[in-house]
């Protein structure tokens, strides 16, 4: 039996999944997380049914644990629980595929070099993703390495949704509206084709609301526009990221407040969004449970911006047939879905309170013009499918 390992290397974490590739659809055997990479990392491993096989065990290291050591620890655990599982393909989530990559790609040293040149476009993600690639190449020199890009799903946007009104030379250099969360949108588009083909054929906004958050307009299952642009900062406010911001504010921070570029990066990526506004937490559960004024205002802003963005995407789609919620907040927060939807009656969105409270697959009223769904996303399986298509198929 041939297996694929999926890897999602973040700045301080490594998520991994083990999939058997024999059948038509890759089958999850286990997945896990090494967190606090770059510090005193710990590893958690879960079986396919969600049972914890290992829970936050410290990863041994001389000093701080890097991505390579985290991967080696993950592989030891997998070998212990799935002895003899032969990993022939490793699939990587890579945030940026630049202008050229519009689908999963088998990696070669030349392609990795090319992807490294995109690091300035995604400095907080791309170098870590590529560190994961290098660690996997060292651990599995024989395996096929496949990159799955967050930008790829959006690469066919029309020009008006791909460009900024800067002098043309910047567009030619790659300063474009890339859009992210593409693996999640790819999965949701596939699920719509399977469970709601009418909707798949129509005009749908997908709201991926997790720690990062964006919205994507789909027509006929393909991305037409995204709330995220050149970087993963644009669009909706997020756990710690600003979302849409007047660029004049950055000039003000540089000129009047004398902030360094590093300080501004930290402010925009790590200290803003729900955390910055509430002064309390980046975590929606904490904000919902808190009665504080800051938490209330952060939720007000979050849901208002989501409605505004949805209105813009509906204009880009020239109408709206469906809305899909996914991501940790989208899949679980009755309150946030309600707060977003209740301001959107004018566009044909009306939700059923009981269905919404139950996180039901369909939460709109039967007679509402726009169908509203909750679909748990699954980025890992999208990577595993790419491994099955491009890597070594199991016998
Ligand atoms: P990531 O983008 O890191 O993958 P997730 O998709 O897991 O993150 O989303 C994390 C967010 O989901 C957090 O803000 C968390 O509070 C929120 N969340 C998870 N469960 C609930 C819930 N039951 N109610 C409200 N928010 C929730």
pLDDT tens digits for 157-213? 999 999 999 999 999 999 999 999 999 999 999 999 999 999 999 999 999 999 999
Contact call for residues 9 and 383 (beta carbons, < 8 A): no
Does ligand 1 have an atom closer than 6 angstroms to the CB of 283?
Answer: yes
Give binding residues for substrate as ranges. 93
Residue 384 lies in a domain: no
Among 127, 149, 171, the domain boundary falls at 149
Give the whole-angstrom CA distance, residue 381 versus residue 30.
12
Q: Domain check: are 242 and 110 in the same one?
A: no
Q: Which of 329, 357, 377 to mutate to test the pocket of ligand 1 (most atoms within 8 A of CB)?
A: 329
Q: Domain check: are 186 and 295 in the same one?
A: yes
Does ligand 1 have an atom closer than 6 angstroms to the CB of 239?
Answer: yes
Backbone angles phi and psi of 219, in degrees to 5: -130, 125
Give binding residues for ATP as ranges. 15, 208-212, 283-285, 328-332
Q: Taking the CA atoms of the chain, what radius of gyration do you get in angstroms?
A: 21
| DSSP-derived pairing of the beta strands 27-35 and 13-20 | antiparallel
Give the whole-angstrom CA distance, residue 173 versus residue 193.
36
Q: Domain check: are 190 and 145 in the same one?
A: no
Does ligand 1 have an atom closer than 6 angstroms to the CB of 338?
Answer: no
Q: Domain check: are 145 and 190 in the same one?
A: no
Does ligand 1 have an atom closer than 6 angstroms to the CB of 10?
Answer: no
Q: Domain check: are 272 and 140 in the same one?
A: no
Total number of domains constituting the chain: 2
| DSSP-derived pairing of the beta strands 86-94 and 2-9 | parallel
Residue 167 lies in a domain: no
Residue 386 lies in a domain: no
The reported pTM is 0.94
Does ligand 1 have an atom closer than 6 angstroms to the CB of 285?
Answer: yes
Contact call for residues 82 and 53 (beta carbons, < 8 A): no
Q: Which atom of ligand 1 is nearest to the CA of 274?
A: 14
Looking up residue 340, the CATH number of its domain turns out to be: 3.30.420.40
Residue 119 lies in a domain: yes
Q: State in Å: Cα 210 to ligand 1 middle.
A: 5
Does ligand 1 have an atom closer than 6 angstroms to the CB of 237?
Answer: no
Residue-level pLDDT, tens digit, the chain, 395 residues: 899 999 998 878 899 999 999 888 999 999 999 998 888 899 999 999 999 999 999 998 888 888 889 999 999 999 999 998 999 999 999 999 999 999 999 999 999 999 999 998 888 889 999 999 998 999 889 999 999 999 999 999 999 999 999 999 999 999 999 999 999 999 999 999 999 999 999 999 999 999 999 999 999 999 999 999 999 999 999 999 999 999 999 999 999 999 999 999 999 999 999 999 999 999 999 999 998 999 999 999 999 999 999 999 999 999 999 999 999 999 999 999 999 999 899 999 999 999 999 999 999 999 999 999 999 999 999 999 999 999 865 44
Position 249 scores a pLDDT of: 98
Q: State in Å: Cα 342 to ligand 1 middle.
A: 21
H-run or E-run covering 209: strand 203-209
Q: Domain check: are 128 and 257 in the same one?
A: no
Q: Domain check: are 120 and 234 in the same one?
A: no
Q: State in Å: Cα 332 to ligand 1 middle.
A: 7
- Residue 373, beta-bridge partner list: 324, 362
Planar angle of CA 370, 381, 118, nearest 5 degrees? 95
H-run or E-run covering 129: helix 126-139
Residue 82 lies in a domain: yes
Does ligand 1 have an atom closer than 6 angstroms to the CB of 288?
Answer: yes
Q: State in Å: Cα 269 to ligand 1 middle.
A: 17
Does ligand 1 have an atom closer than 6 angstroms to the CB of 210?
Answer: yes
Among 99, 127, 149, the domain boundary falls at 149
To which residue do tokens 């049972």 refer? 51
Tokens of 220: 């006929």
Q: Domain check: are 230 and 285 in the same one?
A: yes
User: Left, alpha or beta for 220 (phi > 0: left; psi -120 to 50: alpha)?
Assistant: left
Nearest C-alpha to atom 13 of ligand 1 is from which residue?
Answer: 283
Q: How far is CA 301 from the centre of its chain?
A: 21
Q: What is the pLDDT of residues 107-162, one digit of tens each?
A: 999 999 999 999 988 888 899 999 999 989 998 899 999 999 999 999 999 999 99
Cite the active site residues: 150
Q: Which of 125, 328, 337 to mutate to test the pocket of ligand 1 (most atoms within 8 A of CB)?
A: 328
Q: Domain check: are 214 and 145 in the same one?
A: no
To which residue do tokens 């927060």 refer? 333
Q: State in Å: Cα 30 to ligand 1 middle.
A: 21
Q: Domain check: are 218 and 322 in the same one?
A: yes
Residue 77 lies in a domain: yes
Contact call for residues 89 and 143 (beta carbons, < 8 A): yes
Among 107, 127, 149, the domain boundary falls at 149
Q: Domain check: are 198 and 114 in the same one?
A: no
Q: State in Å: Cα 382 to ligand 1 middle.
A: 20
Dihedral sign, Cα of residue 325, residue 381, residue 90, residue 40:
positive
Residue 166 lies in a domain: no
Mean pLDDT score of the chain: 95
Tokens of 345: 């009656």
Q: What is the extent of the structural domain holding 288?
A: 182-374
Give binding residues as ranges. 8, 15, 93, 208-212, 283-285, 328-332, 379
Q: Domain check: are 220 and 94 in the same one?
A: no
Q: State in Å: Cα 213 to ligand 1 middle.
A: 10
H helices of 272-373, in order, are: 273-278, 284-289, 293-317, 327-332, 334-341, 353-357
Q: Which of 206, 210, 325 to mutate to test the pocket of ligand 1 (most atoms within 8 A of CB)?
A: 210
Q: Which atom of ligand 1 is nearest to the CA of 288?
A: 25
Residue 388 lies in a domain: no
């Amino acid at each position: 039996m041939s297996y694929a390992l999926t890897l999602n290397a973040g700045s301080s974490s490594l998520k991994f999944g083990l999939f058997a590739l024999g059948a038509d659809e890759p089958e999850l055997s286990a997945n896990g997380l090494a967190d606090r990479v770059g510090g005193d990392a710990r590893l958690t491993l879960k079986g396919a049914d969600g049972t914890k096989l290992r829970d936050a065990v410290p990863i041994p290291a001389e000093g701080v644990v890097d991505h390579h050591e985290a991967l080696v620890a993950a592989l030891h655990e997998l070998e212990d629980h799935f002895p003899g599982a032969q990993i022939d393909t490793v699939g990587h989530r890579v945030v940026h595929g630049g202008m050229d990559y519009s689908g999963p790609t088998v990696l070669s040293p030349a392609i990795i070099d090319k992807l490294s040149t995109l690091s300035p476009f995604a400095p907080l993600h791309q170098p870590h993703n590529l560190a994961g690639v290098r660690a996997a190449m060292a651990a599995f020199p024989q395996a096929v390495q496949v990159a799955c890009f967050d930008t790829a799903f959006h690469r066919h946007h029309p020009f008006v949704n791909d460009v900024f009104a800067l002098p043309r030379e910047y567009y030619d250099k790659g300063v474009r509206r890339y859009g992210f969360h593409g693996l999640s949108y790819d999965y949701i588009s596939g699920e719509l084709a399977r469970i709601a083909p009418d909707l798949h054929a129509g005009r749908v906004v997908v709201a991926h609301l997790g720690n990062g958050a964006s919205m994507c307009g789909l027509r006929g299952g393909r991305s037409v526009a995204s709330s995220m642009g050149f970087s993963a900062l644009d669009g909706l406010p997020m756990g710690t990221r600003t979302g849409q911001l007047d660029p004049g504010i950055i000039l003000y921070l540089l000129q009047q407040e004398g902030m360094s570029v590093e300080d501004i990066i930290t402010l925009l990526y790590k200290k803003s969004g729900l955390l910055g506004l509430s002064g309390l937490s980046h975590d929606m559960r904490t904000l919902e449970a808190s009665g504080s004024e800051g938490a209330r205002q952060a939720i007000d802003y979050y849901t208002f911006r989501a409605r505004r963005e949805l209105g813009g995407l509906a204009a880009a789609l020239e109408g709206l047939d469906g809305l899909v919620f996914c991501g940790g907040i989208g899949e679980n927060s009755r309150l946030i879905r309600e707060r977003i939807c209740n301001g959107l009656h004018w566009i044909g969105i009306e939700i059923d309170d009981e269905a919404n409270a139950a996180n039901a697959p369909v939460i709109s009223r039967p007679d509402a013009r726009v169908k509203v769904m909750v679909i748990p996303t699954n980025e890992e399986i999208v990577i595993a499918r790419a491994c099955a298509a491009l890597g070594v198929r199991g016998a």
